[in-house]
Amino acid sequence: MKVPLMNINIQYEQLKEKIDKKMVEIAESSNFVLGKETEMLERAISGLCGVKFAIGVASGTDALILALSALGIKEGDEVITTPFTFVATAEAISRAGAKPVFADIDAKTYNIDAAKIEKAVTSRTKAIIPVHLYGNPCDMDALLEIAKKYKLKIIEDAAQAIGAVYAGRRIGSFGDAGCLSFYPSKNLGAFGDGGMILTDNEESARMIKLLRIHGAISSYRHSVIGFNSRLDNLQAAILSIKLSKLEEWTKRRRAIAALYNSTLKEVVAVPTEQAKGMHAYHLYVIRAGKKRDGLLDFLNKNGVESRVYYPVPLHLQECYRDLGYKTGDFPEAERASLETIALPLFPQMGDDQVNYVVDLVKKGIKLIK
């Protein structure tokens, strides 16, 4: 049996008729950038996430850059985030002109450890970007408390966490802004790049809408220096069709994770859910300790595609050498990068496939010395 890490193509097969019809309709309309389909998606997602404004942009990375810019983050400012995330989180801070400052993660959730943030706060700190890694909600109570104490903004990186819930509220709705990604492999994926910013603040929403379209207040009149970062109508239309399946897909992701958890917990460390958080399982990540590399090799050789998210924490990346961090600065992030593996998980995965992966993981752990 072969089990892929994820399979995006089945989503298209399931919705092909609707999507094909819509794509032709938009091609014939020649209405490609922003427009009616984008507005419809923005309304649907603001409703789903329980926020006043949802603004479509060109990618999840741009969502972070525009949110930071709209909140006034600029050169000379510091923004605290996790070193254990996709590079885009820190890259966005740098592109907004500010300096990323890292705080280590919690060993169980792999999310930023709120207790380690205070030590990283300086007089230049303006914001925190918590990342709900793999779809697992951060400890928002603790983060909001720190933000309040030091008067910091919170921009949630919810790129992996659409559909996740914390204390009965949707992830992405807690911060001053929440950022979503519609990259094809994400839980709600487009046929290309796309992203969205969530906020309850009218002034931020107004600024983000200006920034995404060259700072234009009307045709060829520009009040601020902006970006070109818009969501295509075609992508928005495809996303709207897929959105109707998101709840069902998230439920299935959670059922698969529950099956994995119950069968794997004796042999490896399985994902931890907080009492208040509902994990959206964008990725299903286990910790295999010193057997990680052996297990990764064993699984891939036997047809079970597995990968490491992420093999090099950001403080040790070449592009961030100038920040002056060294090995040993964030031991939990470093350990996670050496010990974790993502196993296959996609909503259309069958129980037989899950059981096959489980058997192989158990076999591998026993075999590897």
Ligand X SMILES: *Cc1c(COP(=O)(O)O)cnc(C)c1O
CA 155 to CA 90: how far, in whole Å?
Answer: 12
136 binds ligand X (CB under 6 A): no
**Residue 257 in the binding site for ligand X (CB under 6 A):** no
Token reading at 53:
């404004």
Asked if residues 241 and 22 have their Cβ atoms less than 8 Å apart, the reply is: yes
Q: Strand pairing of 78-81 and 99-102?
A: parallel
Give 6 or 365: the residue with its C-beta nearer to ligand X: 6
- Per rule CB under 6 A, is residue 139 in the interface with ligand X? no
Length of the chain: 369
Q: How far is the CB of 131 from ligand X (least distance, A)?
A: 5
Burial 177-210 (b: 16+ CB within 10 A, else e): bbbbbbbeebbbbbbebbbbbbbbbeebbebbbb
For residue 259, the SS3 value is helix
The interface region with ligand X, picked from 54-62, 231-239, 313-321, 334-342 by CB under 6 A, is 54-62
Judged by CB under 6 A, does residue 89 bind ligand X?
yes
Which residue stretches of the chain are H helix?
A: 9-29, 36-49, 60-70, 88-95, 140-150, 202-211, 233-264, 292-301, 331-339, 351-367
Of the candidate spans 43-51, 153-161, 215-223, 324-332, the one that interacts with ligand X by CB under 6 A turns out to be 153-161
How far separated are the first and last CA of the chain, in Å rounded?
A: 25
Size of interface with ligand X, in residues (CB under 6 A)? 15
| Residue whose CB is less far from ligand X, 183 or 298 | 183
Q: Of the two residues 59 and 199, which places its CB atom closer to ligand X in the complex?
A: 59
Q: Contact with ligand X (CB under 6 A): which of 82, 85, 111, 353?
A: 85
Q: How far is the CB of 59 from ligand X (least distance, A)?
A: 4
Does 91 engage in binding with ligand X (CB under 6 A)?
no
Task: Give the footprint of ligand X on residues 182-211 (CB under 6 A).
Answer: 183, 193, 195
131 part of the interface to ligand X, by CB under 6 A: yes
Residues in contact with ligand X by CB under 6 A are 59-61, 85-86, 88-89, 131, 157, 159-160, 181, 183, 193, 195
